[in-house]
Amino acid sequence: MVKKVNDLVEAKAAKFAVIDFSAQWCGPCKMMAPVLEEVSESISDVSFFNIDVDEARNEAEEFSVMSIPLLVVLKDGKEVSRQVGFQPKENVEQFIKDAIK
C-alpha cells in the first residue's frame, strides 16, 4: 500500500522507504500510481509513501524536486537513490531492489 502523506516524518523513520513525489495535474504521475501500488504489494520490507509537491513545497524543496514523477529511496532516513519519470513495474521493482541492497 502506498500511503498518502503531507510530510516525510514517517518515511524518514522507516528502515527503507520509497517516496513518490507527484502532483494531481501530472499525467505520468497518475500512470505511476497503480504501478507503485502493485510494487508495494510485492516488496514487503519497504514502506511506500506519496506526497503531492503542490501541497508539500518544503519537502519538495528539501529533496530538490525538479521533475515529477520522482521516486526517492531512503535507507534509515537518508537518500540512496532516485529515479525520474514513468517506468513500468519491472523497472521500478529492480530500481528499488538495487537501491536497498
For the chain, domain boundaries = 2-99
- Indicate if 13 belongs to the active site: no
- Indicate if 26 belongs to the active site: yes
User: For 36-57, what is each residue's pLDDT tens digit?
Assistant: 999 999 998 999 999 999 999 9
pTM for this prediction? 0.94
Q: Which of these, 26, 16, 38, lies nearest to 65 by C-alpha position?
A: 26
For the cut 90, the answer to whether the pLDDT of residue 24 exceeds it is yes
Residue 44: the pLDDT is 87
Highest CATH level, class, for 2-99: alpha beta
- What is the rounded average pLDDT of the residues 61-85? 97
**Annotated catalytic residue: which of 26, 36, 60, 73?**
26
For the cut 90, the answer to whether the pLDDT of residue 77 exceeds it is yes
**Annotated catalytic residue: which of 29, 53, 71, 100?**
29
Q: Which of these, 34, 37, 40, lies nearest to 16 by C-alpha position?
A: 40
Contact assessment for residue 1 and residue 39, using Cβ atoms and an 8 Å cutoff: no
